[in-house]
Amino acid sequence: MAKIPAKVASKAKQISVLLMDVDGTLTDGSVTLASTPDNHALEVKTFDAHDGQGLTLAVTAGLRTGVITGRSSAALRRRCKELDIEFVYEKQGHKIAAYEDVLRKTGAKESEVAFLGDDLPDLTIMRRVGLAVAVANAAPEVRRAADYRTKAVGGKGAAREVVELILKSKGIWEEMIDKARA
Amino acid sequence: MAKIPAKVASKAKQISVLLMDVDGTLTDGSVTLASTPDNHALEVKTFDAHDGQGLTLAVTAGLRTGVITGRSSAALRRRCKELDIEFVYEKQGHKIAAYEDVLRKTGAKESEVAFLGDDLPDLTIMRRVGLAVAVANAAPEVRRAADYRTKAVGGKGAAREVVELILKSKGIWEEMIDKARA
Amino acid sequence: MAKIPAKVASKAKQISVLLMDVDGTLTDGSVTLASTPDNHALEVKTFDAHDGQGLTLAVTAGLRTGVITGRSSAALRRRCKELDIEFVYEKQGHKIAAYEDVLRKTGAKESEVAFLGDDLPDLTIMRRVGLAVAVANAAPEVRRAADYRTKAVGGKGAAREVVELILKSKGIWEEMIDKARA
Amino acid sequence: MAKIPAKVASKAKQISVLLMDVDGTLTDGSVTLASTPDNHALEVKTFDAHDGQGLTLAVTAGLRTGVITGRSSAALRRRCKELDIEFVYEKQGHKIAAYEDVLRKTGAKESEVAFLGDDLPDLTIMRRVGLAVAVANAAPEVRRAADYRTKAVGGKGAAREVVELILKSKGIWEEMIDKARA
């Protein structure tokens, strides 16, 4: 991760809730479908171990985490459980309702919420949160709407980078390193 | 996407039907087979979330979409359903019959049809449509036959790029952005 | 594909049998295992559509094709069937017996056989065939033993490149293009 | 592999036990989950054929090998069996207990143990072993703690590179080449 710009750090240190898109953000944008013997197809999702390590550390550090996605799969739900992701909103064609539900449930101010996204449906939330982050390979419209753009692409460390950005801005990254669990 | 050449834009603005190859075009060319307990193998296909977003927007914008492929899988059929792809032709060793069927069903002129492809079996259609597009990593013969070559490789944004090319040439991309659904 | 060196072309034009390794050659070297509900794991293999197109054209052009591999999977057998690969030798810890079996069955001279490989177990065959080809990312020992090294890496067009190399050296590539089926 | 620094070679030639992390080390860090018909998700893991060839040669050369990981899957267990990996520790949130168990079982001195890792939970072991190696794309904290950093990224030849590093330092790589089995 490059040096954190002062303006970004000042936003990042206020974050208590980290929300994320899934496809293209926690994954590399691959939508993988496996044909089944009875002529259906089931979803296979590929997440990233470094992202997972980061998101687990985020929870250990006291952040609350969540995902808001248009799709739905047992694969995603298992991964969220593994990473202690508290808010899991699936089948959200429009994402803003889920976002407002998180605000209600957490009582967080919008300035305390970060969102990491990659494509057009993420824009409505990104325009409202305290810290809007785009993955390196986000759509141009999304990159322009972001306060920060990760060096990592979606599904390959972008979430890890956001977690480090927030914990370093809060000055607690170093103490988290020794708390890492595999 | 780079600036659209005037000659390409003038072809693109006439398009009402977008046809596509599948393997190497809507996928990265991977042919993935998963062994099953009863000693068969089932197809796993990986599509791209950005492509999906683009193709959904294309339909919202009034384009009709279709795929013509030599293979066949439940995975492809599910993805086509998710993206409201109207024409799905599988097991087409020679693709031209399916193409002519689309012309009949839509009543579209050939100048109103775009085709996105990557390999030799796509050439017969590409020589006839109004807008022939090759993915960045298409076979050399296909790249030479194309009116336009995407910057993105197959399965990683090439279809999204064609949709943007068409909708921008029609001057309606900007208004579509806010219609995006996850 | 770069221009074919004269020495390579003179070897390539004599080829009537094309043998290949599988993992790292017809695939990118990924060994993918999918856990099953009953606590076993089944093999998933990813091949390349462009390689497939090339190998199908090779058969159409009259070449005989085969694979020799240390592993075994229903996925590989399905792919070989799709591509009309005549010789399929699995579980070959040492590959030379299978190679000699092909010589016997085809009656081909060693100078008429090409082999495409990527790692140490391929060396024994590569030292004997008329045309030994290494994929771009082969082990250094294998690259050194090869008459030709593809520009493409294993599982991403290396087999296609060998087929083009052979058919172009024979002067029949151009006429094959229109015979391509999807 | 680049030329081996003398200091690294002197550590490497003492190694008799090679321990490794799994995700991000023997894999590229992908955590792939496949949804099942009954709404669960099963793990799919992708290993590397070149790594496998190297690890098999390591065992042939008399090294003892093992993995220590926080996750658990039938896929990993099958791969370990294929590669004659002797020590397989799964579900190790903290890895140090497994490491000490290996020391006990083998009677090896810490200077005779090598560890290959990529992320924060690997640090506790890497600080103790005779030869600590980080994959090219390891977390910065891990790269700094390593005696050697592979040129290859995790899951794409890093383990092969460590095996070559050790066997070349012992001066026995050349004689192993002809012992390779597919």
Q: Count CA atoms within 13 Å of residue A112 on its CB side.
A: 13
Question: A-chain residues within 8 Å CB-CB of D139?
Answer: 50
pLDDT value at C2 more than 80: no
D144 in helix, strand or coil?
Answer: helix
Which residue of A19, A32, A45 to mutate against B (max B Cβ within 10 Å)?
A32
What are φ and ψ of residue B117, in 5° steps? Answer: -145, 180
Asked if residue C113 has pLDDT above 90, the reply is: yes
Taking each helix axis from N to C end, the angle separating B158-169 and B49-60, rounded to the nearest 10 degrees, works out to 30
B24 vs C46, C50, C73: nearest CB = C50
- Which of B91-100, C35-44, D2-11 shows the lowest per-residue confidence on average (mean pLDDT)? D2-11
Residue B1's SS3 state is coil
Q: Which helix (H) or strand (E) holds C116?
A: strand C113-117
* Residue B178 pLDDT greater than 90, yes or no: no
Sign of the alpha-carbon dihedral angle for C32, C36, C41, C45: negative
- Range D6-177: architecture per CATH: 3-Layer(aba) Sandwich (3.40)
By the 8 A CB rule, do C89 and C115 touch? no
Structure tokens at B122: 């796509």
| Residues D95, D142 contacting (CB under 8 angstroms) | no
pLDDT on residue B3: 85
The residue of chain C with its CA nearest to that of D160 is: C139
Question: Comparing A41-45, B6-10, C113-117, C175-179, which segment has the lowest mean pLDDT?
Answer: C175-179
| pTM, entire model | 0.97
Helix (H) or strand (E) holding A125: helix A123-126
Q: Which of A27, A33, A36 lies at the smallest CB-CB distance from B45?
A: A33
* DSSP 8-state code for residue C110: G
Tell me the per-residue pLDDT of C123-154, one tens digit each, with 9 for 90 and over.
999 999 999 999 999 999 999 999 999 999 99
Separation between Cα atoms, residue D155 and residue D164, nearest integer Å? 16
Predicted confidence at residue D1, as pLDDT, reads 66
pLDDT given at position A100: 98
CA B181 to chain centre: 20
With a CB cutoff of 8 Å and minimum separation 6, the contacts of A78 are: D33, D40, D41
Q: What is the pLDDT of residues D37-64, one digit of tens each?
A: 999 999 999 999 999 999 999 999 999 9
The 10s digit of each residue's pLDDT in D144-166 is 999 999 999 999 999 999 999 99
Q: List the one residue out of C9, C22, C13, C16 whose CA is nearest residue C113.
A: C16
At D6 the three-state DSSP class reads helix
pLDDT at A182: 86
pLDDT of C118 > 90? The answer is: yes
* Nearest one of D85, D109, D103 to D25, comparing CA atoms: D85
pLDDT in tens, A52-106: 999 999 999 999 999 999 999 999 999 999 999 999 999 999 999 999 999 999 9
Report the residue of chain C nearest B41, measured CA to CA: C75
Question: Which sequence spans correspond to the domains of chain C?
Answer: 6-177
pLDDT in tens, B41-61: 999 999 999 999 999 999 999
Beta pairing, strands D131-134 & D148-149:
parallel
Average pLDDT over residues B104-122: 98
Give every CB contact of residue C120 below 8 A, 6+ residues apart in sequence. Answer: C139, C141, C142, D53, D57, D177, D180
D66: nearest Cα among D54, D83, D48: D83
Residue D131 pLDDT > 80, yes or no? Answer: yes
CA A116/CA A118 separation, integer angstroms: 7
Q: Cα separations (Å) of A18 from A80, A133, C99?
A: 13, 10, 58
Q: Angle B90-B93-B98 (CA atoms, 0-180°, nearest 5)?
A: 55
DSSP run (H or E) holding B77: helix B74-82
State how far the alpha carbon of B85 is from the alpha carbons of A65, B42, B79, B114, in Å.
35, 23, 8, 14
Is 70 exceeded by the pLDDT of residue B1?
Answer: no
Q: Give me the pLDDT at residue D3, please.
A: 85
Structure tokens at C66: 């085969």
d(CA B56, CA A119): 13
DSSP-derived pairing of the beta strands C30-35 and C41-48? antiparallel
> A29 with B28: CB under 8 angstroms?
no
Q: What is the pLDDT of residue C1?
A: 66
Asked if the Cβ–Cβ distance from C31 to D42 is below 8 Å, we say no
CA angle D68, D70, D73 (to 5 degrees): 90
Closest approach of chain C CAs to the CA of D103, in angstroms? 29
Q: How confident is the model over D139-144, as a mean pLDDT?
A: 97
User: Does position A1 have pLDDT exceeding 80, yes or no?
Assistant: no
Residues contacting D134, CB < 8 A, separation 6+: D116, D117, D118, D126, D142, D143, D145, D146, D148, D149, D150
- What is A6-173's CATH topology? Rossmann fold (3.40.50)
Interface test with B, best of C23, C40, C50 (most B CBs within 10 A): C50
Question: Where do the H-state alpha helices sit in D6-152?
Answer: 6-12, 49-60, 74-82, 96-106, 123-126, 140-144
Cα distance from A168 to chain D (closest Cα, Å)?
Answer: 14
Residues of A within 8 A of B42 (CB-CB) are 34-37
- pLDDT-derived band at D2 (thresholds 50, 70, 90) equals low
- Per DSSP bridges, beta strands D113-117 and D41-48 are unpaired
Round to whole Å and give the CA distance between D85 and D69: 14
Long-range contacts of C6-11 (CB under 8 A, 24+ apart): C7/C147, C8/C131, C8/C147, C8/C148, C8/C165, C8/C169, C9/C168, C9/C169, C10/C169, C11/C111, C11/C130, C11/C131, C11/C147
Chain B residue with minimum CA distance to A31: B47
> Residues A167-172: what's their mean pLDDT?
98
Q: In the A/D pair of chains, how many CB contacts fall below 8 A?
A: 88
For residues D127 and D84, what is the distance between their CA atoms, to the nearest angstrom?
27
Query: Looking at the partner chain, which of A34, A48, A75 has a beta carbon nearest the beta carbon of D30?
Result: A48
Q: Which of C53, C73, C78 is nearest residue B119 as measured by Cβ atoms?
A: C53
In this predicted structure, the answer to whether residue B2 has a pLDDT above a threshold of 80 is no
Encode pLDDT of D101-114 as tens digits: 999 999 999 999 99
Residue C109, pLDDT above cutoff 80: yes
Whether residue B180 and residue A23 make contact (CB cut-off 8 A), yes or no, is no
- What residues of chain B lie within 8 A of the CB of A35, using their CB? 42-45, 73-75
Rounded to whole angstroms, the Cα distance separating C144 from C153 reads: 16
Q: Which chains touch C (3 or more CB pairs under 8 A)?
A: B, D
Residues B180, A44: C-beta atoms closer than 8 Å: no
D1 contact partners, CB below 8 Å, separation of at least 6: D151, D161, D164, D165, D168
Tell me the three state secondary structure of residue D26. coil
ipTM: 0.97
**CA triplet B83, B84, B89: central angle to 5 degrees?**
95
A114-156 pLDDT, tens digit each: 999 999 999 999 999 999 999 999 999 999 999 999 999 999 9
Q: How far is B111 from chain A (nearest CA, A)?
A: 30
